[in-house]
Amino acid sequence: MNIKIESGAKVQITDKPIYNIYGDVVQQKVVQVDDGKNKKEEQSHFPLNETKDEGIRLYNALTTEKFMQVAIDSWLYLLGFSDQIPLHKQLVQWLGTKEQLRVMLRMIFERLIKENGLSVADIERLTPLCFIDKKGNPMHLAKPRDESSMEMDKLKEIFRPSSII
């Protein structure tokens, strides 16, 4: 029996006997091939949420106020405003505090949290897969605390609904 194995595949050969229903050994060696196609890839982005237009609006506001640096296509994909995988995916470099990041994520996903489609634990698990700090290290959310600063006020203002005049 000839088996063609693509490069990059992981091959494991073990000495596990396989028995038929009568208890006879039918195969002495077991070959397992993992080409990565059968393995479910760990989700490395937030679930779909809101519209692409809302994602663009938030991107523009957050980059203008210097809360983050990232290419827009990566932002839209990672934060669930688009399901198109960017050609050169990059993580969001968060320039604010961990508490500002927590508040921003809670406001973006407020609807999904209320509908029980997303938990705070999910947000905490996904954050280091999508956000890095100024030094390039994965961001981990700190415990919630009350931060009073002009930057936090600016951040909250971005998410306030604009009044219709």
- Nearest Cα neighbor of 100 from 46, 148, 47, 44 is 148
User: Across residues 130-143, what is the average pLDDT?
Assistant: 92
Give the SS3 label for residue 78: helix
Task: Determine the Cα–Cα distance for residues 109 and 124; give it in Å rounded to an integer.
Answer: 12
Amino acid identity for residue 55 in this structure: G
Task: Determine the Cα–Cα distance for residues 84 and 147; give it in Å rounded to an integer.
Answer: 35
**What pLDDT is recorded for position 7?**
57
Task: Determine the Cα–Cα distance for residues 85 and 77; give it in Å rounded to an integer.
Answer: 6
Q: Which tens digit of pLDDT belongs to each residue from 25-52?
A: 665 555 556 555 444 344 688 888 878 9
Angle at 70 between CA 50 and CA 127, to 5 degrees: 65
Q: Which tens digit of pLDDT belongs to each residue from 59-115?
A: 999 999 999 999 999 999 999 999 898 988 899 999 999 999 999 999 999 988 888
Residue 164 has pLDDT above 60, yes or no: no
Give the SS3 label for residue 153: helix
User: Across residues 119-145, what is the average pLDDT?
Assistant: 91
Q: Which tens digit of pLDDT belongs to each residue from 1-26?
A: 555 655 555 666 666 666 666 666 66
Q: Write down the pTM of the prediction.
A: 0.70
Can you list the alpha helix ranges (DSSP code H) found in the chain? Answer: 52-64, 72-78, 98-108, 110-114, 120-130, 150-159
Q: Which tens digit of pLDDT belongs to each residue from 146-156?
A: 888 899 899 99
Residues forming beta bridges with residue 159, ordered by sequence position: none
- Give the start-to-end residue ranges of the domains of the chain: 6-39, 52-159
CB 94 within 8 A of CB 145: no
